[in-house]
Amino acid sequence: DYIRYYYSGALELVALMLEYLDHTGDAEFAREMLAPFAAEVVGFYDQHYPRDPQGKLRIEPSQSLETWQKANNPLPPIAGLRFVLPKLLALPAESVGGQARDDWARLVGELPELPMMKSAEGGEILAGAAEILQEARNSENPELYAVFPYRLFGVGKPDLEMARRTFQHRRVKGSRGWQQDDTQAALLGLARTAQELIAQRFAQKDPGNRFPEFWG
Per-residue pLDDT reduced to its tens digit, 22-80? 999 999 999 999 999 999 999 999 999 999 999 999 999 999 999 999 999 999 999 99
CA 2 to chain centre: 17
How many other CB atoms sit within 10 Å of the CB of residue 67?
A: 23
Model confidence band, residue 178 (pLDDT cutoffs 50, 70, 90): confident
Task: List Cβ<8 Å contacts ≥24 apart for 1-5.
Answer: 1/69, 1/137, 2/66, 2/69, 2/137, 2/138, 3/66, 4/63, 4/69, 5/61, 5/62, 5/63
Q: Check whether 99 has a pLDDT greater than 80.
A: yes
Phi, psi of 13 (to 5 degrees): -65, -40
**How much of the chain, in percent, has pLDDT values that exceed 70?**
100
